[in-house]
Amino acid sequence: MVLVLMGVSGSGKTTIGKVLAAMLDWTFVEGDDFHPAANIEKMAAGVALDDDDRWPWLGALRERIGAACDSGESAVLACSALKQEYRDELERGCPGDLRFVYLTASEELIRRRLEEREGHFMDPALIHSQFEALEPPADAVRVDVAPAPEEVAANIRRQLGL
């Protein structure tokens, strides 16, 4: 099984994903590691990505998901997956064994987290564009990320029965 922790930048995908993967003894996969350098440069410069920027990245993630499913590897993937068409693309990598977990929070909380975060390429000024692009999933497990990461990860496990 592959769990995709999705949501806007700053929602805790990486932090919660690492905690959850450790709890489950699964592989953690950082979706940002699959971005081409041009995407990272754009975001660091305060320029929002468009669909043309995202498709190669999503294709690489779909392939990684497929490799996990083909080998029987259980993994937690941190990936924004803001739009339904992006989630559909990811699901093609592992139909039936892919679950989405939507990490939710207010724009105010996310902005505050991004402003406090150091060493990340995402410009906090872009957060509003992420909320505008977000198409909340109808079929994902929804989890509020205001509590501590360990509590959020435990909540995800409970909701998924893991």
Whole-prediction pTM: 0.87
- Please tell me the CATH code under which domain 2-160 is placed: 3.40.50.300
Cα 83 to Cα 18, 75, 117: the distances in Å are: 23, 21, 25
Q: For 19-48, write each residue's pLDDT tens digit.
A: 999 999 999 999 989 998 888 888 777 777
* Residue ranges covered by each domain of the chain: 2-160
pLDDT, tens only, 71-121: 999 999 999 999 999 999 999 999 889 999 999 998 888 887 777 766 555
